[in-house]
Chain A
Amino acid sequence: MLNRLLTRLFWSAVTLLATSVLTFFLVNAVPGDVARSIAGAKASPEVLQQVREKYHLNDPVLVRLGHYLVQLARGDLGHSFVTDQSVSEAILTRFPTTAALCVTGLILWMLAAVPLGVLMAKFRGSWFDRTMLVAATLSLSLPAFWLARMLQYWLAFRLGWFPVAGFRSFAHLLLPAATLAIISGGYYALLIQANMMEVLNAPCIAAARAKGLSETAILFRHALRNALIPVVTVLGTDVAALLGGVIFTENVFALPGIGTLAVQSVFNLDVPMIMGTVLFSATLVVSVNLVVDLLYQWIDPRIKADY
């Protein structure tokens, strides 16, 4: 078990290193004079030279990569080219907003997906099941940026039920979280329904029915618990997709999270900030996958046999 964990940790580190190197080469391949971008078109040659020295811009790209990796090994993500703010500080300031959005979104989508999935399984083949199937498929197909803009336009701007954008109170999180809930909820409702169908046909459920348990208890206490096990794995692998949705949602609602930071950095060609946000997101995805892998063994004892 320990060996397995160490191997996973090793490959996680390799993945992150590869991500850093690849991103470094990609952002450095963008043509242009970064010093002019930092100091402005009207900066003097002395100031431009100062900027180039400060950020090692005169060095060959491999030397710069070396500087970056050494800096990274010390836990230093560098400073923004644009604002001179520490990249770590920028990420840590914004992460709570992204986390709050993800957690609220997760709660909303599970609140919607779990009862829907269970009821679709219970009433399989009914008009309710068919209607929900269409709705769930539709929600799966909606682009996050479009849905976010529509919710914002109609519910916030036209009807005034929610704030349009920004993050000054919990109310500002509701529409962005609802966007995430809608684009992900349909998929999870279908997943839960499929799992429930399988579990409801299992001998243990027949045994529960034979014992005279109520249908509600069978559905929610016995069947659902088993049906949720595969959902945990999918949730883990879905973190990357979730972050993609978060980027669009945060930008539409001007939420000051990691997503808006990433997009602003790209527009500003702020290399350290782009590197920082990519690396942070990669770390998040890799860590969640690792945790889910480990959790899964704990949740489903059958998996242990494979280790």
Chain B
Amino acid sequence: MTPKRGGVLHLAQPSEIRSLDPAIAFDSFSIPVVHLLFRGLLDYDNATGLVLDQAKDWNISSDGKIYTFHLRSGVRFANGREVEAEDYVFAFERILNPQTGSPGETYFLGILGAREFVDGKAPHVIGLRAPDKTTLVIELKEPQFTFRYVLAMTFACPVPREVVQQYGTEFQSHLVGTGPYRLAEWRRGISCRLQRNTYYQGPDGFVDGVEIMIGCDDTVMTMMLERGEIDQVPLASPAQAARFKRDPGLRSWLTLVDAAETDYFFMNTEMKPFDDAQVRQAVNFAIDRERLLKLAGGFATVAHGPVPPVIPWSNPGLPRYDFNPEKARALLREAGFPSGFKTELWYSGDQPIFARLAEGVQQDLRQVGIQAELRPANFTAFDAKVTTRHQVPCGIWGWFQDYPDPSDFLDVLLNGERITENECNNTAFYNNPEVNRYLDAAAKNLDPGERTRLFRQAENLIMQDAPWAPLIHEQIPVLYHPRVHGTEPHPVWLWRYEHMWLDP
């Protein structure tokens, strides 16, 4: 069908849009909306391939350190002012400025001079240059393959310096970007209305406007969808999704988005008894992942490794831990725990899926003699506890990709060189120097084939050492009214409002 222009897309979200400022927004509800207002140098095709967006060409120097972009001519902000390369320099420095409080700061620290700028030792980032109005040069300290993905994140969108300086922290109420839509009205915590940006010249944006109602629970959103009051229910609960899946009249309303995420059971390799690899392997054999799928409402796939299959990645030699309680008991006996042991299993009680997984894992572990006492906590308490060294023996957590590359899981979550005393994402505190070497080499290597080899070697070692028991990769159930088209799921953006169009 040929997409048609016109109409207003009515959306609803369960919680407040935290921010629509591209330097700040970083949650799954805000980012698809930010992508309507702001666009940058690169975007994704229908999968995980990078395509040019507001740049007309780009090249990376042979040493992998210098990225040069030439901007398309005639690209304008929603206030009519033409975008210049300096706007990108300003936007990147704004993210690096600690005063901004951007959660994206770490992604830009690979730029030459970024650390000095963050520490207040330099007024500008020397690795960011705009030799003329349409040329942007970014120089990195050392080669970093994944930096190209950073440039496709919404953090990397240009913002007009004069508007940011005029409004300061209030910029987020006066947003001006280069996307297909502009902010018409934002009643914080209540509703948000976007209108077409008449200066946008790209191919996206079929509907004339987007209206977002904020603060509806899942049940209300589903009723509103069925009554035709809204067009989408993002992240429907498994119970609602199951109802739509069962009902032949409603089945076509349901879309499952394979999320690039992994829910996993981590074991603190610095704490007894999980400092013993045989114990960790025993846990891996003890868990019935097929049963966990049922506990997840059927909207998930089994995880055999840390990296989700949505990322273009395969590792045929990956050691697998199929459900085998006998083998688990034997390994426990060998490790000196013939009667099992007692431990505490921590999880965030705010997320129902983690509660169900925790109960499932607890039951499986009990079958092999491991008595795991459940320790639910609210997310902030859980987060503070599990990211601090020597605090939590084991627990359940999930990680959602920032960009579609194995390093976002293996390097960020399992590289021992990233271990810190507090706020450590390596919650297993797993440190294998050989794995670290592979991961460090892959980070700097620019050859995709060689990177794949390095990541496979690292992942194989990780699974042998078993600091995690990978559990499931979630699928996100999304409901759409039949009048909406262009709802194909996307592995990075999840859904793309700019591609959606409505029946007349």
Contact = CB atoms under 8 A, between A and B. Distances in A.
Given A251-B217, A261-B189, A153 B223 contact: yes
Contact of A254 (B172, B220, B382): B220
Interface of A: 30-34, 36-37, 39-51, 54, 82-85, 89-90, 93-94, 149, 152-153, 156-157, 160, 163-166, 251-254, 256, 260-261, 264, 267-269
Interface of B: 12, 15-19, 26-27, 98-99, 101-103, 105-106, 109, 118, 169, 172, 187-191, 213-217, 219-220, 223-224, 226-227, 229, 377-384, 387, 402, 423, 425
The secondary structure that dominates the A interface is: helix
A94 B189 contact: yes
A164 to B, nearest CB: 5
A87 to B, nearest CB: 11
Contacts, number: 138
Contacts of B224: 164-166
A141 to B, nearest CB: 23
Contacts of A50: 98-99, 101
Contacts of B377: 31-32
Nearest to B99: A50
A239 B491 CA distance: 50
Given A83-B18, A153-B223, A166-B213, 13 more contacts: A31-B380, A36-B380, A36-B387, A36-B423, A40-B103, A44-B109, A47-B103, A83-B16, A85-B189, A156-B227, A165-B223, A261-B189, A268-B16
Contacts of B382: 32
B217 A254 contact: yes
A164 B229 CA distance: 8
Given A30-B378, A32-B383, A47-B101, A42 B226 contact: no
Contacts of A164: 220, 223-224, 227, 229
Nearest to A255: B215
Contacts of B187: 93, 256
B103 A256 contact: no
Nearest to A167: B190
Contacts of B381: 30-32
A44 B189 CA distance: 27
A43 B380 CA distance: 14
Residue of A42, A43, A82 with most partner-chain B CB within 10 A: A42
A157 B99 contact: no
B220 A44 contact: no
Contact of B215 (A37, A46, A82, A256): A256
Contacts of A40: 26-27, 103
B383 A256 contact: no
B15 A264 contact: yes
Nearest to A166: B213
Given A157-B226, A264-B189, A269 B215 contact: no
